[in-house]
Chains A and B, each alone.
Chain A
Amino acid sequence: KAGVTQTPRYLIKTRGQQVTLSCSPISGHRSVSWYQQTPGQGLQFLFEYFSETQRNKGNFPGRFSGRQFSNSRSEMNVSTLELGDSALYLCASSFMGRQYGYTFGSGTRLTVV
């Protein structure tokens, strides 16, 4: 079966620009969450969506936003990019329930110059 698909894989943007990242979850998974990985911070939770509703948000500025569509696909947007936003952004999908693990995508590597 198809895994979690993230596009694009790599992205180079200039400070001040905005960017949109896309995530298509595994079929049947309605929960989609986003994580940021930077060398010093490890994996940090950004937000989680379920049935088109954001249910949880991490400690990130309002420049980071997201949404989920009726087919469970999710997008993440970062506006007014800063150099510190350079990171690997991972999307994960799962079934609901404590017995389920998450399936991660390969990530989008964002570089802000």
Chain B
Amino acid sequence: ILNVEQSPQSLHVQEGDSTNFTCSFPSSNFYALHWYRWETAKSPEALFVMTLNGDEKKKGRISATLNTKEGYSYLYIKGSQPEDSATYLCAFVIIQGAQKLVFGQGTRLTINP
């Protein structure tokens, strides 16, 4: 059974603070890792697609790093804002005839004003 673990499960952060959370995945047969942001009552939105060991991606105040050899990815949010409140999902991409995503349980982030 392939496990994708995210920690912590939930996080409360003061507005303006920076935060980070972790996605752990199998270190063998790496193909790609996705990060998604899922706001309540909306669709999951792709943040990053990471494919190479050492990848660092940035989108505004949000960035992500990837270490495929040890099987983890970090998501960082700098200067948290209320609109950052969402569930952040990582998805490990595997190939079984075709691509499929194996999701972690998510990190539920709440920004306190």
* Secondary structure call for the B interface: strand
A residues bordering B, Cβ < 8 Å? Answer: 3-4, 31, 33, 35, 42-45, 48, 50, 55-56, 58, 90, 92, 94, 98-107
Cα separation A19 to B27 with both chains bound (whole Å):
39
- Given contacts A42-B104, A98-B51, A101-B46, is CB(A56)–CB(B93) below 8 Å? no
Q: Are B43 and A107 in contact (CB under 8 A)?
A: yes
From residue B110, how far is it (CB to closest CB) to chain A in Å? 18
Residues of B within 8 A of A58 (CB): 100
Cα separation A4 to B31 with both chains bound (whole Å):
25
Residue in B48, B89, B91 whose Cβ sees the most chain A Cβ within 10 Å: B91
Binary flags per residue of B73-103, CB closer than 8 Å to A gives 1, else 0: 0000000000000000101010011111111
Q: Are B98 and A55 in contact (CB under 8 A)?
A: yes
Cα separation A43 to B101 with both chains bound (whole Å):
9
Q: Are B49 and A101 in contact (CB under 8 A)?
A: yes
- Given contacts A48-B99, A58-B100, is CB(A43)–CB(B89) below 8 Å? yes
